[in-house]
């Protein structure tokens, strides 16, 4: 199951990176820097100010972890094909079983490792998932959903401003969450099912606006 999910996510990341830049591997973009910046945003959502009362915004924390995962997958893909990389990642993740710990300290360690190595600290990331009790299945569902939505927006006029983000009084990400809840995430064509369902609802909802 994990191997299939990893291959799916890596293939999706490769596809969207190629959409942005066909030669993205050769460009050697500073993905590690994006992870560093996202980590700071993540800490803000979790809370770190000792002079005021703060509660972790867990849904936002998980969304930031998914964003970091996008950049982490891009770094991992620099090492080879989705199939090869997935095997390596699975071994690391299975060996990195962790118990919940101090999220703030673990995030700082993860960020330091990222900056020092300019690579993705997969073991450190697995620890962050454990800290907020986010399963790999949840990571997969959230990642695929975000990836499909990003691709869908691009395909439907996001760049030229013709895309309609709000349908029937709700934003597209709300429709996405509702569709995700109805689909089988274990299906091998989960991302394709999600895209088709999103496209069908979008066409039906926006037809009345024309």
Looking at every residue in the chain, the average pLDDT score rounds to 89
Q: pTM (2 decimals)?
A: 0.85
Residues 99 and 130: beta-carbon distance below 8 Å: yes
For residues 68 and 43, give the distance between their C-alpha atoms in angstroms, rounded to a whole number.
12
For residues 46 and 59, give the distance between their C-alpha atoms in angstroms, rounded to a whole number.
10
Residue 134 CB neighbour total at 10 angstroms: 17
For residues 92 and 122, give the distance between their C-alpha atoms in angstroms, rounded to a whole number.
7
Q: Which residue's entry shows tokens 């986010």? A: 134
Residues 175 and 198: beta-carbon distance below 8 Å: yes
- The pLDDT tens digits of the residues spanning 61-77 come to 998 999 999 999 999 99
Residues 92 and 123: beta-carbon distance below 8 Å: yes
Long-range contacts of 151-157, Cβ-Cβ distance < 8 Å, separation of 24 or more:
151/15, 151/16, 151/19, 151/195, 152/195, 152/198, 152/199, 152/202, 154/19, 156/202
Tokens of 14: 């490769």
Q: Is 96 helix (H, G, I), strand (E, B) or coil?
A: coil
**pLDDT per residue rounded down to tens, the chain (210 residues):** 889 899 999 999 998 888 888 899 989 899 999 999 999 999 999 999 999 888 889 988 998 999 999 999 999 999 888 889 999 999 999 887 778 999 999 999 999 999 999 999 999 999 999 999 999 999 999 999 988 888 888 888 887 888 888 888 888 888 888 888 888 888 888 888 999 998 888 888 776 655
Domain ranges in the chain? 2-137, 157-210
Query: What's the Rg (C-alpha) of the chain?
Result: 18
- The pLDDT tens digits of the residues spanning 181-209 come to 888 888 888 888 999 998 888 888 776 65
Kindly tell me the number of DSSP H helices and DSSP E strands found in the chain: 10, 2
CATH numeric code, 2-137: 1.10.4010.10
């Amino acid at each position: 199951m994990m191997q299939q999910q990893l291959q799916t996510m890596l293939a999706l990341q490769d596809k969207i990176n190629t959409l942005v830049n066909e030669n993205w591997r050769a460009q050697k973009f500073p993905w590690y820097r994006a992870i560093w910046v996202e980590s700071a945003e993540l800490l803000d959502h979790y809370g770190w100010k000792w002079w005021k009362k703060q509660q972790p915004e867990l849904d936002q924390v998980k969304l930031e972890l998914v964003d970091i995962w996008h950049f982490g997958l891009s770094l991992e893909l620099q090492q080879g094909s989705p199939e090869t990389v997935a095997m390596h990642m699975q071994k690391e993740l299975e060996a990195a079983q962790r118990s919940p710990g101090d999220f703030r300290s673990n995030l700082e360690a993860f960020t330091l490792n990222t900056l020092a190595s300019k690579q993705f600290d997969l073991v450190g990331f697995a620890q962050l998932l454990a800290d907020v009790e986010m399963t790999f299945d949840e990571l997969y569902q959230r990642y695929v959903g975000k990836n499909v939505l990003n691709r869908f927006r691009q395909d439907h006029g996001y760049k030229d401003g013709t895309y309609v983000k709000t349908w029937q009084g709700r934003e597209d990400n709300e429709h996405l969450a509702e569709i995700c809840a109805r689909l089988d995430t274990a299906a091998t064509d989960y991302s394709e099912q999600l895209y088709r369902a999103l496209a069908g609802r979008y066409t039906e909802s926006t037809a009345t606006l024309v």
